[in-house]
Amino acid sequence: MALKLMIQGTTSNAGKSFFSGALCRIFYEDGYSCAPFKSQNMALNSYITSEGLEMGRAQAMQAEAACVEPSALMNPILLKPTSDIGSQVIVNGRVRGNMRATEYFRNKKMFIPEIMSAFNELDKKYDIIVIEGAGSPVELNLKADDIVNMGMAKLADAPVLLVGDIDRGGVFAQLLGTLMLLEEDERQMVKGLVVNKFRGDKTLFDDGCRILEERGGVPVAGVIPYIDCDIDDEDSLSDKLESRQKGLVNIVVIRLPRISNFTDFDVFSQYDEVSVTYASKTSEVFDADMIIIPGTKSTISDMKWLRESGIEAAVLRMAEKGISVFGICGGYQMLGEIISDPENTEGGGEIRGMGLLPCVTVFRSKKTRTQITGRMEMLTGPLSSLSGKEFSGYEIHMGETMVKGNAMSRFDNGISDGCNVKNIYGSYVHGLFDSSDISREIVKSIFEAKGLTFGGKAMSRKEYKESQYKLLADKVRENIDMKLIYKILQEGV
């Protein structure tokens, strides 16, 4: 049986995912096999495993940090919001259907056997399981049926570390208030406090640690500095979506209301003098040297927003000027002529697309989930240098797209993907840009189109991620009491 440790936070975005990932890497470095686990995750950023199963990207990141194969067992329940009041429910990697929030909360305890079946499989295989909570454990109106915070800690018999975000301010209220609102048996399960995202001289918080320990009756396991670390983020709270910094080359990603898998574009930030910004206003689109329309969990709804916001018109104007426009997954569907949802898969209806690619998309109830490899076809336009380049990635979508023009790529199984007409490109492949050959050629073509010399070196995405996992683990190890962490693991609850 594995040793267990649960990481809970005082708020969403307290840093639970990153801290859990850091511990996964530290345990790996210390010679242990380690698996991440989150019983229920709500996120639009997802990952497809080698078996073609879907899981939250945060747990895939943590598995990579632990140097183990990501598995849907690590995230048995994934909720992907389709509206403000409903989500697609994915259980053990497969779509179970769409549910309104009230229906899910009324029935979520029925998923406990499947959650525990997944957890028990990991329990047999690994030395340590790092369990991540969600939001706050003291949302009092939700505690009765909790399956992801203290409810999960009890099911797993796991000691808890409670993480607070000092960068937001109010860390004493966060940590001490959370302890105060926990039930007595739950409070006894909290074995350590972590102050996260500290800026400045840490010795200035020595009195703060003393106060937390005296009033909370729980040791402070560490004060973690604010770490500038580029690893996959879980959801739309990501700071990168707010970045407005411009470089010599500006890649503009349209910030759709239901944007998903925006980590597809992180690779471009590795290159010097390249900025990746997320645009939600027409004025921001006109700064683009390349425009990307990303994936979305609600294609028709986001196409309406694109049109009503005026951003569609701005993209069309930039396309007429010869700027490259690249659509991924839902963004690819929007570039076509018609998007239709006759089976009410994502809300139903039909809408005219942007008309930049000769293709029509019809949504079906069956979801495509697969990892793939392939090669680019002979492309036209500014990105023609991508022709013949190899890639790997994954598909995750509900729609089927019929293409009347040239395919953009061909998979190794012989199936074609995407479409290319002049400076317009569309593909279903997430992770397409992670190939250093492809990302480098795109950046190089933009530099040259602006009359600039490109001298950037391409580091493989895998090597880059490894460097960031090491950075994260090193910084956390320097600022956490690992002797206390191992003591908590050994003693349990």
| Domain boundary assignment for the chain | 3-231+467-491, 249-451
What's the confidence (pLDDT) of residue 243? Answer: 65
Q: Is 430 a catalytic residue?
A: yes
The pLDDT assigned to 151 comes to 96
Of 347, 351, 329, 313, the residue nearest 430 (C-alpha): 329
**In the block, residue with structure tokens 């729609």:** 399
Task: Decide: 128 and 33 in contact? Cβ < 8 Å.
Answer: yes
Are the folds of 3-231+467-491 and 249-451 the same? Answer: yes
d(CA 247, CA 268): 12
pLDDT of residue 236: 47
- With beta carbons less than 8 A apart as the criterion, state whether 426 and 257 touch: no
The active-site residue out of 24, 359, 397, 430 is 430
HSE, CB side, 13 Å, CA atoms: give it for residue 252.
Answer: 23
pLDDT value at residue 108 = 85
CATH architecture under which domain 249-451 falls:
3-Layer(aba) Sandwich (3.40)
Q: What is the pLDDT of residue 238?
A: 61
Full pLDDT tens readout for the chain, 493 residues:
899 999 999 998 899 999 999 999 999 999 999 999 999 998 888 899 999 999 999 999 999 999 999 999 999 999 988 777 688 899 999 999 888 888 888 888 899 999 999 999 999 999 999 999 999 999 998 888 899 999 999 999 999 999 999 998 999 999 999 999 999 999 999 999 999 999 999 999 999 999 999 999 999 999 999 998 888 766 544 666 666 677 899 999 999 999 988 889 999 988 988 999 999 999 999 989 999 999 998 899 999 999 999 999 999 999 999 999 999 999 999 999 999 999 888 778 999 999 999 999 999 888 899 999 999 999 999 999 999 999 999 999 988 999 998 899 999 999 999 999 999 999 999 999 998 899 999 999 999 999 998 887 766 788 889 999 999 999 999 999 999 999 999 999 9
**pLDDT of amino acid 235:** 53
Question: How buried is 228 (Cβ within 10 angstroms: 0-12 exposed, 13-18 middle, 19+ buried)?
Answer: exposed
Asked about 397 being catalytic, the answer comes back as no
Q: Which pair of tokens denotes residue 432?
A: 């397409």
CATH assignment of 3-231+467-491? 3.40.50.300
Which residues are CB-contacts of 82 (< 8 A; sequence separation ≥ 6)? 88, 98, 258, 297, 298, 346, 347
- Tokens at residue 135, please? 């939001």
Please pick, among 34, 329, 359, 419, the residue that the annotation labels catalytic: 329
HSE, CB side, 13 Å, CA atoms: give it for residue 145: 14
Residues 6+ apart with CB under 8 A from 354: 306, 312, 315, 316, 334, 335, 336
| Residue 250 host element (H or E) | strand 249-254
**Torsion sign (Cα): 238, 242, 244, 248:** positive
Residues contacting residue 212 through CB under 8 Å, at least 6 positions apart: 172, 175, 176, 193, 195, 218, 220
